[in-house]
Amino acid sequence: MADLKGGFTNPDTLKGTFSNPVIRGYSAYDIAKLSGFEGTEKEWLESLRAPAESLRVSSLNEQYLAVGKVVEAVGNAIYLDDLSEYSDYGIEVPGWYVFARITAPIGAKVTADTTVDGAAGYIASEGEDYVDVAVRFEVAATSQLVIIDWGESKETFVFRDTDLAIRNLDYRVTFYVYDADPFVTWHYKRSADPVFVGTKYYTEENGVYTQAAVKAHEHVPADTYYTHAYALATDEVFQEGTVYYTLEAGVYTPAEVVPGDPLVPAEPDPEVPVPTYYVDEYTLTTDYRFVGTRYYAEHDGTYEQIAVKAGEPCSYYTKVITYPLPGTAAFVGTEYWTPDESDLGYARAAVRAGEAIPEGEYFTHVYTKLTAAGKFAEGVRYYKLVGTEYELQEVTVGASYAKNVYYIDTWTPATGEFVGTKYYLAINDNNYAQVPVLGGDVIPAAYYTKEIHYAITGDETFQVGKTYYTIMDGEYVEAEVTVGGEVAADTYYEQLVIYRKESGTFAEGVTYYTAPAGVYTETEVVPGETIPEAEYRVQLISWPQTEDEKVLSGETYYTNIGGVYEEAYLAPGARIPENLVHEKAVVEGLVRNVTYRLDEIVDCPMVFILPEVEDETHGCWFEIRCRHAGAYSMELVAPEGVKVATEHTQKETAGVNMINLHYTSVDGVKIWRFMNTHSNIPA
């Protein structure tokens, strides 16, 4: 029997103790009780012994460390100074270690290809159905990953040390706060995910697999949920009832096949490649918890996690079209021309932007510079560029001209669609119709008259940037005031300006204003002329998230997938989820000299508000352990006058963050010092 990693084949003969000691009053059973276990110690031990597949990790003295189906080994580490007796493991650094035996899955054995990653050392003997590992914990670390590749399968094991106090600062009295609610204020924001994020899970009934709605991070019931993949078809002939797929550009497409035909023809055509076929493969998931982001729905101000299907559209929108006034004074777009009998031969035409251009009817016009010398030809119009204007020149037919001086008209047939902004006129209060416009023409604006009113100010003190008025000899006069000064009651006024839309004809002696871009500007007019009533508007489309709780009959809803809004086909009366996720958690009201352990997975940044410190001499400390579902920072907010000194840079990590936080007084200055360590445990 060949041995790996030092050839140790009988770990039971190891010297030293691998017991699970009681440290400062907390045994593994105590931790279980703090975690919510309500039975006796005997009942707890019995619960660990069933089902059998959950007991695959044990300490070397056969105390079971396994917790749950996916193995998370929770035990107490021992400190090793002398490593000479543990050379078989290949460990070389003194420190805190957990020694454990990991049993292989049913049917698996250790082979020469078996590998172990993440352990400080291990012993694996070919032919055995277990591996012994030595897992080392760094100072203040909270967990370690051990990955074993058995050959046929690969598994990840999480090792955690339940006792924080054994690392350093032994004088502390340590207890855990498992319920974060008294200390945490949660904030929520609407999810920006276009689809629900996470692994897709399926349930099976009578051989039919259906995607299931699940709640992220809840425990996965045993032998219930499957994950889906595509496997290479191993059939020699196509089977009745089996769906076969071909793969092209990463997309699996159902193939048209004939049951009974061979997958590989006996005499394939050498010029036609034989497709590779795939079939559906559903595998019982080994996930301990459902993988994915948590989503919440709001009900009367409270947020409840909802079951979602990964990959389905996450948010629903309704389409809103508005018609604001254009922000320019002229119609935007290409100028189009049609042939006519004028001297120019073409007349500018009004068009509707976005409509198809009739073939051969419309032309675009540019001025082309003559870059070579020549003679003026009959029937050709010649221009010079003066400033930004092209001025038509009188020329003598047959006379010579120099290069790079003159321009001629160039007319090109227009194809495709008319280019430019679409403009609309109001038909009634809610309906607008697109109208033809001439590119470059000035947009007719509605006209307004200005009305000025004065009202008693409601300000209690004079505000920056505001003008105040008082009444003198029956007139309103601008007052000199001091910003921040107290406003005398019923003495000061503010000016209110109202612009009223006018129609009919311009009156003599009246000042008129236009507001083409929302700014009212005094405008010259001709008394007696008709006041233009046209207000041109441009079309804008916005996609606000719907506020409907249920699908309304006759309403159209859309989803945003990859930045593209697509119509969603929903049944009237179906509930529309309002999907929200955590924005951040604010933890305050900390009690000094305590370890805080937020045991629930947190899927948001954490903000810890440190308490005021009255004790100037003894200081205080905190340890904060937080399990994260993603990459988030842990921010500390110190009281006024208190400094936060970082001995190690805060890190963003997926997994567990832990802060060792200590208050001291240095030369009369209060300082919080902390060490932030992390361990990348996958969520």
Mean pLDDT of 125-154: 79
Residues 6+ apart with CB under 8 A from 393: 382, 383, 384, 406
**447 lies in some domain:** no
Q: Report residue 502 as tokens.
A: 């006018």
Give the mean pLDDT of 94-100.
83
Quick one: 605 and 660 in the same domain?
yes
Q: Per the domain annotation, does 596 fall within a domain?
A: yes
- Using pLDDT thresholds of 50, 70 and 90, give the confidence band for residue 568: confident
More confident of the two residues 469 and 660: 469
Does residue 87 lie within any of the structural domains?
Answer: yes
Tell which of 271, 290, 305 closes a domain.
Answer: 305
| Cα(107)–Cα(123) distance, integer angstroms | 19
pLDDT reading at 341 higher than 60: yes
pLDDT of residue 414: 95
Q: Are residues 207 and 300 in the same domain?
A: yes
Give the model's confidence band at 93: pLDDT under 50 very low, under 70 low, under 90 confident, else very high.
confident
pLDDT at 611: 76
Whether 270 is in a domain gets the answer yes
Specify the pLDDT at position 164.
43
User: CB count, 10 Å around CB of 127?
Assistant: 11
| Whole-number pLDDT of residue 47 | 55
Residue 460 or residue 678, greater confidence:
460
Q: For 16, left (φ over 0), alpha (ψ -120 to 50), or beta?
A: left
Please check whether residue 497 lies inside any domain of the structure: no
Instruction: Tell me, yes or no, whether 18 and 155 share the same domain.
Output: yes
Higher per-residue pLDDT: 271 or 592: 271
Lowest mean pLDDT among 106-110, 159-163, 333-337: 159-163
Q: Which residues pair with 622 in a beta bridge?
A: 594, 661
Q: Are residues 152 and 256 in the same domain?
A: no
Predicted local confidence at residue 162, as pLDDT: 56
- Domain-embedded: residue 227: yes
**Same domain flag for 11 and 70:** yes
Give the model's pLDDT for residue 170: 34
Q: What is the pLDDT of residue 394?
A: 92
In a domain, 546, yes or no: no
User: Percent of the chain at pLDDT above 90?
Assistant: 29
Other Cβ atoms closer than 10 A to 650:
15
Instruction: Say which residue the tokens 């009533």 belong to.
Output: 533
What's residue 305's pLDDT? 85
Range of the domain at 91: 3-164
- The total number of structural domains in the chain stands at 4
CA distance 18 to 78: 8
Q: Are 277 and 233 in contact (CB under 8 A)?
A: yes
CA atoms of 571 and 553, how far apart (whole Å): 8
The pLDDT value recorded for residue 648 is 54
Please report the pLDDT score of residue 370 as a whole number: 94
The chain-wide mean pLDDT, for the chain, equals 79
- For residues 111 and 236, membership in a common domain is answered with no
d(CA 175, CA 322): 59
Greater confidence (640 vs 424) lies with 424
Query: Angle at CA 82, nearest 5°, toward 80 and 87?
Result: 95
Q: Domain check: are 156 and 235 in the same one?
A: no
Verify that 228 and 160 share a domain, yes or no: no
User: Is 144 in the same domain as 248?
Assistant: no
Are 276 and 207 found together in one domain?
A: yes
pLDDT digits 0-9 by tens, 532-541: 888 888 988 8
**Measured distance CA(331)–CA(440) in Å, rounded:** 5
Q: Which of 272, 289, 305 is the last residue of a domain?
A: 305
Show which of 255, 277, 305 is a domain's final residue: 305
In a domain, residue 62? The reply is: yes
Does 113 lie in the same domain as 16? yes
Long-range CB contacts (< 8 A, 24+ apart) of 546-553? 546/316, 546/317, 546/318, 546/576, 548/318, 548/576, 549/575, 549/576, 549/578, 550/574, 550/575, 550/576, 551/575, 551/576
Q: What is the mean pLDDT of residues 126-134?
A: 90
Task: Report residue 10's pLDDT band, with 50, 70 and 90 as the boundaries.
Answer: very low
The average pLDDT across 51-74 equals 63
Tell me which DSSP letter residue 626 carries. E
* pLDDT attached to residue 477: 93
Same domain, 24 and 159: yes
18 contacts: CB under 8 Å, gap ≥ 6: 59, 60, 61, 78, 99
